[in-house]
Amino acid sequence: MHILGIDLAKLTFDVTLLREGGDRRHKQFPNTSAGFEQLQQWLRSQHIEHVHACMEATNVYWEALAAFLADAQHIVSVVNPARIKGFAQSQMMRTKTDKQDSRIIALFCLQCQPEAWTLPSAAQRRLRALTRHRDDLLQTRTQLSNRLGDTSDTVVRTSLETVLASVEEQITSVEAQLKQHLKDERDLGEQAALLTAIVGIGTITAAKLLGEFCDIDAYTSAKALAADAGVTPAQHESGTSVRRRTHLSKVGKASVRAALYWPAIVAMRRCEGFKAFAERLAARGKAKGVIIGAVMRKLLHVVYGVLKHKTPFDPNKVLGPTRSST
């Protein structure tokens, strides 16, 4: 199959086409709906109906093009930028341009054959859009609150307070829309009910997890799900002298890690199983941050299990029976 490597920026995207016969061609398009149509017309002018397109999961620039290509029946792969960077280093690449990056992505796709990306349903895309918009509003609220605390000018304070009140109103509105969306969409609502039965996970966190992990069947294991969130442990050891402290890999969805922090704290306080799990780690001399990270990872394992098997959370089954303190 023909390979299409795509390097995306905010305003444009570069493509490198690797034809089955070995021919290579490059072109740049605007990162707009019109640009997507131009790409499709260009492929047809090359007498190509279907390609295996590959792109990096960089910010949100990739999503619209990925959806467009998937709707056009092309195979689409969306990969972690760290994989492309590592591949480029393995090829001893010394220059970095948009054209060169699209070529590297095409070569990566040709040699590594990354798994196909699944287009989320319209309901899943709406859920993810709402949760991400809420995250943006929360960040804006924090910025405004910080600025309000840094100024004593009455005119500026009045303006900031007005804008802050509007943002608070929008946060409330978006959260209400999130909850209503889960009620309106039966499948999402059932999955959210399974997640909210897990100690520490509320409706908003459940919506965040369902929005970011659209297709649970796309993950081969709970470990793969945790790796996608960047909460798997990263070790650095070499020989007998290098023994660095184990830490979270943080190669994955940062927003998911942020969303799991407080649920992990609550789980350690309110669930005997998670509490016992944390105490065992503490007894082994693990630092507080390491323990919280381990609980976050354990929570994602539970999330994977209840969604994969459509089974309510059972702490005794997942975490083992806890000993009575009496």
pLDDT digits (tens, 9 = 90+) for 31-52: 999 999 999 999 999 889 999 9
Q: What percent of the chain clears pLDDT 90, i.e. is strictly above it?
A: 63
- Mean pLDDT taken over the chain: 89
Amino acid symbol at 59? N
Take residue 259 and report the two structure tokens written for it.
């969303």
Give 216's DSSP letter.
G
**Integer CA distances (angstroms), 117 to 66, 112, 268, in order:** 9, 15, 35
pLDDT digits (tens, 9 = 90+) for 108-122: 999 999 999 888 889
Is the C-alpha dihedral spanning 165, 168, 169, 170 positive or negative? Answer: positive
* pLDDT score of 22 more than 80: no
Is the C-alpha dihedral spanning 288, 274, 269, 172 positive or negative? Answer: positive
pLDDT digits (tens, 9 = 90+) for 47-90: 899 999 999 987 677 889 999 999 999 999 999 888 898 898 88
131 in Cβ contact with 208 (< 8 Å): yes
Give 11's DSSP letter.
S
pLDDT digits (tens, 9 = 90+) for 169-199: 999 999 999 999 999 999 999 999 999 999 9
Question: Can you give the pTM of this predicted structure?
Answer: 0.80
DSSP letters along 108-133, please?
A: HHHHH-PPPPPPPPHHHHHHHHHHHH
Q: What is residue 176's predicted lDDT score, i.e. its pLDDT?
A: 96
